[in-house]
């Protein structure tokens, strides 16, 4: 019965995020390894908290971390959107990977837009890093709560 109530509580707390879109999402994975050695981190930065999900093999652990920003993340992401996306050669295949994306709603629109801030690339695709002060700040926010970056 105790485990059933924990599952129910987990579903209730998860449903609070179901209708929200995170401002920043960072996903890191260990790459091609046997399942028992695999690990992934997913950080989602919301307006008032960060949801960190760490998966070890087939087990997942979630952390909720209080968060607040003095400036509007939506405005910071809009500034990052116009910053240059730098491409670099990447010769790694099946290795660890990290992707950081940001989502914002443009002024006068109800639809959200997603931009890429960072990607390790792999298997013929280049490493991508958005370069500029707003992009660096957003990447730093994601890396503070989810430090694994490949």
Residue 78 has a pLDDT of 92
Reported as a single tens digit per residue, the pLDDT across 91-124 is 888 888 999 999 988 877 888 889 999 999 888 7
Residue 15 has a pLDDT of 41
The average confidence (pLDDT) of the chain is 84
Pick from 105, 138, 142, 93: which is nearest to 21 by CA?
Answer: 105
Residue 10 has a pLDDT of 47
Residue 101 has a pLDDT of 97
Pick from 37, 41, 64: which is nearest to 54 by CA?
Answer: 41
Task: Output the CA angle 98-67-63, nearest 5 degrees.
Answer: 60
Reported as a single tens digit per residue, the pLDDT across 9-54 is 444 444 444 458 899 999 999 888 888 888 999 999 999 999 999 9
CA distance 127 to 58: 28
Give percent of the chain with pLDDT exceeding 90. Answer: 52
Place of tokens 């087939």: 58
């Amino acid at each position: 019965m105790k485990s059933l109530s924990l599952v129910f509580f987990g579903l209730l707390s998860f449903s609070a995020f179901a209708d929200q879109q995170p401002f920043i999402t960072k996903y890191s994975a260990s790459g091609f390894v046997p399942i028992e050695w695999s690990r992934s981190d997913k950080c989602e930065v919301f307006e008032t908290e960060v949801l960190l999900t760490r998966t070890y093999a087939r087990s997942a652990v979630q952390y909720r971390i209080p968060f607040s920003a003095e400036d509007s993340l939506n405005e910071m992401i809009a500034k990052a959107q116009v910053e240059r996306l730098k491409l670099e050669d990447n010769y790694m295949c099946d290795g660890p990977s990290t992707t950081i994306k940001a989502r914002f709603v443009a002024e006068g629109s109800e639809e959200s837009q997603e931009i890429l801030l960072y990607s390790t690339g792999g298997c013929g695709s280049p490493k991508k890093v958005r370069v500029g002060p707003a992009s660096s700040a957003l990447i730093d926010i994601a890396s503070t709560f989810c430090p694994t970056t490949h």
